[in-house]
Homo-oligomer: A and B are copies of this chain.
Amino acid sequence: MAKPEKLVEAITSMEDDFAQWYTDVVVKAELASYSGVRGCMVIRPYATALWENIRNELDARFKATGHENVMMPLFIPESLLQKEKDHVAGFAPEVAWVTHGGDELLPERLCVRPTSETLFCDHYKDIIHSYRDLPKLYNQWCSVVRWEKTTRPFLRTTEFFWQEGHTMHETAAEAVEETERMLGVYADVAENCLAIPVIKGRKTDKEKFAGALATYTIEAMMHDGKALQSGTSHYFGDGFSRAFGIQFTGRQNTLEYPHQTSWGMSSRIIGAIIMTHGDNSGLVLPPAVAPVQVIVVPVAPHKPGVVEKAREVTAALRAFCRAGIDETDNSAGWKFAEYEMKGVPLRLEIGPRDIENNRCVIVRRDNREKAEVSLDSLGEAVPRLLGDVHKGLFDKAAASRAAMTYEALDFEDIKKQAAEKPGFFKAMWCGNGECEEKLKQQAGVTSRCIPFRQEKIADTCVCCGGPAKEMLYWGKAY
């Protein structure tokens, strides 16, 4: 029984050092390891399986809303990146440049895509001619590269994995509707698959995407009270269309520019899962995307018939959920700690006495509640318990967020509160970028979003005291 203690000891407690706790979980749960390449990670099998499950949930929803996947080139010629001026200004400082192919110096530098608006526009120019060609609803799954100075696994890495949707529409109204629809898909996946409560809202001008007219976001709160932007959806208007000369013949036979959106969710969301649900025993995974939903642990496996029965139960579970079995000769205690570390939602223990009584013990990862379950009712009990874990995780995260969400009325108030405690601060804003900048510089909080669900906290801006336009969420962000 020494091993489980050693394992648990190996994680820093999150109260002692949250950043170190995070890194410990990433490494000990075998999610990722550092590679010999600066800022790039090796995404290990467990995290890859998790990402594949998240991808499948998103992809099914993209397809159900009429989107098609495509695969665009990895490289963007420098001249193409430069076609939209706000966009290039936003990305040029952080791209990786390819200058040589084999021994030859290239006539034009290519950047490794940091995002693919320009590539999609270059293609759309060739395939959009008439309103009958619209909408174009494309998505791609890929990795992108942004040269980061400081990196942290999943949260900020030079290369990261994501999907990027890029759509073109006949009218501005349709494009705005698409932007909102896809934000809804992200919120649906975050809340109903990942058990992460999110705030839907719009970014301020200062925080919006390079080249976008409007950026929508879902913002989640981590254990430490910091915000994590978990998915964004951008409305571009016809800015790129004009820059790239994309035109179509409209219904009135006039030449028009299509209206564009893009939207993305990335492997960063794995960081959100860790920091929303994890605890001092390790990872806690939401059942809908957990690579293993139930781990079967034979107790006293040397006793006759135990392993056989455990295998039989595992096979039965696999008809309706993702089940694993640990038949190694490690101790039961070691296994308990190991699968807690890996965040497996349910642990099913079965030993000689259980078998005698045609039952097993199921332990929830989230709250460690134990239930004795008849082997005849697994088909009912396991899905119910997985649902309970999901609800337990969501409710706990929502309660934690509520407990760390505050209101602030004036500048001294928000400055003092932000200095004293982590969390989200709801406060009114006049809409002026100077106030936003002052809050960032002097109170240490940035605007997270202008939530769709507005509340009137006060009549005046938290910063300047002038007439307030909107309520914003403010906080510290990853």
Contact = CB atoms under 8 A, between A and B. Distances in A.
A161 interface: yes
The 4 closest A-B CB pairs, nearest first, are A40-B73, A45-B68, A101-B147, A43-B71
Copy number in the complex reads 2
Given A37-B77, A37-B110, A77-B36, A71 B102 contact: no
Contacts of A93: 102-103
Nearest to A74: B159
A326 interface: no
Interface string A137-160: 010001101010000000000110
Interface string A260-275: 0000000000000000
Contacts of A143: 71, 74, 142
A122 B48 contact: no
B45 A70 contact: yes
Given A45-B68, A96-B98, 19 more contacts: A33-B123, A35-B119, A35-B123, A36-B77, A36-B80, A37-B119, A48-B70, A48-B71, A51-B71, A74-B143, A75-B96, A92-B102, A94-B102, A95-B101, A95-B102, A97-B98, A97-B101, A98-B112, A102-B147
Interface string A39-60: 0111111001101100000000
A100 B97 contact: yes
A304 B108 CA distance: 60
Nearest to A120: B42
A75 B43 contact: no
B99 A99 contact: yes
Interface residues of A, number: 53
Interface in A75-129: 75-77, 80, 92-104, 110, 112, 119, 122-123, 126-127
Interface centre among A37, A69, A123 (most CB of B within 10 A): A37
A402 interface: no
30 contacts: A33-B127, A35-B72, A37-B75, A37-B76, A37-B77, A40-B73, A40-B74, A41-B73, A42-B72, A42-B123, A43-B70, A43-B72, A45-B68, A45-B69, A45-B70, A48-B69, A71-B143, A71-B161, A73-B159, A74-B74, A74-B143, A74-B159, A75-B96, A94-B101, A96-B101, A97-B98, A98-B99, A99-B100, A102-B147, A112-B112
Interface of A: 33, 35-37, 40-45, 48-49, 51-52, 68-77, 80, 92-104, 110, 112, 119, 122-123, 126-127, 138, 142-143, 145, 147, 158-159, 161
Contacts of A52: 69
A107 to B, nearest CB: 9
A51 to B, nearest CB: 7
Nearest to A46: B68
Contact of A98 (B80, B98, B127): B98
Contacts of A43: 70-72
Contacts of A103: 93
Interface centre among A41, A96, A103 (most CB of B within 10 A): A96
A48 B92 CA distance: 29
A360 to B, nearest CB: 27
